[in-house]
Structure 1
Amino acid sequence: MTTTSAVLFPIPTSHILSGFTTCPTLSLPHVAHVALSDKALGVHKVSSRFTHNVVVPPHADADHSSAWEALFAAGSIAPGNKDLPPGGFGLYMRGPSAFKDELAKAGDDAQEVLMSYEVLFEDGFEWQKGGKLPGLYGGVGEFSYGCTGGRNTDRCQCFNLRLMWREGGLGELYAYVPQNDANTVALKAVPRSHQNPDYGFSVGRGLWTFEAGEWFAVAERVKMNDVGQANGEIEIYINGASVIFAKGLVLRDPEAPGSSVQGLHVQTFFGGHTAEWASPKEQKAWFTNISGAVLSTTFSAHDEL
C-alpha cells in the first residue's frame, strides 16, 4: 500500500465495495479514477458568490498535481454575510455516478461510508478564531441540505459532519446530528468535546493541529445505525491516524428511517458569523485528492484493531 492510499483510505481496503479518487497515482481494487471536475464528482448546489477553480497548488508533486483553490479575501466571513467580502467556497457533491448508485443501494441497509481529501493552507496562514472545512452530510432527500448554522427544525432528518480549524490551527469535528440523548452522550464522551448553543457539537478540539504549508489528509468514516438501535459511528482520521472515534450514535432517527449518507459537503470559510472571525488578510487554501468508498456492512474498523 502506498502512503497516499493509506491516508486517503485508512481502512482495510478489502472492505471497499465501490470507491473513487481524483488522486492520479493511487491504484486500488474497486476504486475508480475520476477527474477533479464538477461534472465527474456530481457537484451541485454551488454557492454562487464563490469560485473553486482548479489550479496547480504550491508544493505540487505527482500526488498533488491539481487542486481546488479557496480564496479568503481580507475581512471575509461566513457565506451568509452579504455585508463583508466573500471568501472560501461551498458546494455539495455526491461523487461519480457509480459511487452515487452504490450509496443509494447501501442506504437501504446499515450503510457505512468513508470520504477523504487533502488540504493545504498557504505558508504563513493566519487562523484567526477559526473556520469550516469539508465533511460528510446526509439525511432524507432535500432535508439533508442546510443542516447547519443553528437550524433547529427537522433535525431528526439530517446530519452534517464538517470539520473546523480553530485558533492556532487546532482541529475539531463540528457536528450537527439528530437531537437525542444518545448522541449527546456519545459525542460528549470524546475527549475535549462540548455542545454549542447553536445546536452543533465541537468534538475533539485540539486532538490534532493543522500546520500551514503542509498537506494534511482528512478522512471521515460514518456508519449509519440500524433503525431503533444506537449503534452508529463517526471516525476522523488525520494523515492515516484515527483521532476521533464516537460510537453509540443515532444518525438514522426512527422518525426518519430513510436517512442516509448523501455525500460530501465541500465548504470552507472563516467563521463564525461575526467580524472577529474574519480573515485578517487575503490568503488561500487548496483541496485535492477527493476520494470516497462505500464499505462492506460486515466491516467494523475497531473490531479489527
Structure 2
Amino acid sequence: MQLPAHFEYQRARSVEHALALLSRHGPEARLIAGGHSLIPMMKLRLAQPELLIDINEVPELGGIEITEDEIRIGALVRHTQLLDCAEVGRSAPMLHDAERVIADPLVRNRGTVGGSVCQADPSEDLSGAFSALRAVADIAGPAGERTVPMRGFFHGPYQTAVGPDELLLRLRVPLPAPGLRTGSAYRKVSRRAGDWAVGAAGAAVTLAPDGTVAEVGIGLTALGAREFVATEAEDLLRGQRPTPEAIDAAGRAAAQHCEPVADQRGPVEYKRHLAGELTRRVLRDALARAGGR
C-alpha cells in the first residue's frame, strides 16, 4: 500500500489567507486543488510537504469571464467547466480541442486548469495551447500581483515562474480585434485514448484583410520545444500568404528546431516527424476555421 508521509492540512478562505499560510510555513507547504499530480507524488514519497493548503473554496480563483478583449480563466476552473463553456469554444476552439483529449472524465471533472499549467509537465496539453494563444498568467504573492506571459512562464520541466510563496490567480487569453478572421486548432497523438501525448501541436492564426497571416502562434507538446513554442515556424509564416508551400515550410522548421528525447513513447526521429506533420495539420485546421482556405 502506498501511503504519503505525515502532513498537516488547512483550508484557505481567500487568496490573502493562502498567501499568509505559504509565507508562514515556507517551502514545506504546498497548495492543493484537484490533486491529480500532487497526491500520486506524495504516495510515492517524491513529494513530502509538511502542510497541504486546500484552495478549493477560494472564490477569487474560480469562474470564466469573456470580454471584448480577452478570456479570463480562473486557476480553479475545472477542465470540464472550460470544455462546457460554449463561448470559449467559439472564441478559442483550440482550448476545447485540447480539453477533449486530456485524460478521462474523472480527471477532467476534478482537475483544474491552473494545476495543469503549474505542474509544467512536458507532455501536458494545455501548456502548448495557452502558449500558442499567447495567454498571460496573473500571479499573486507577498509583493502584490504581477503578470507573466505564458511564453515566459515555463522555466523548464516541472518549473514555472510561480514562486514558492506565490499562487496563480488566472490565465488570460487575448482575443483579436473585431472583424479579423481568426481560427485555432489542436491535435494530439497518444498511444491510447486519455494517455499522455507522444506529441501534440496547436496553432492559432489571425488573417489580415488582404489574406496574409497577421499573427500566428504554434505550440508543441512533448516534443522538446522551448517554452512549448515553435518560434521559427511562426516567423516563417507571419506576413506571408498561407499557401501549401508556406505551411510545409513551417512544418519543416518546427521539426528542425524542436529537441525531443527518446523514451518509451518513441525515438527522436519519429517525434521530429510528428512535430512537422502535426504542425502542418493544425495550421490547416486553424486556417479552415478562420475561413482562410
TM-score interval, smaller chain: under 0.3
TM-score by length of 2: 0.28
TM-score by length of 1: 0.27
Higher helix share: 2
Larger RCO (CA within 8 A; separation ≥ 6)? 1
Higher strand share: 1
Query: Which structure has the bigger radius of gyration?
Result: 2
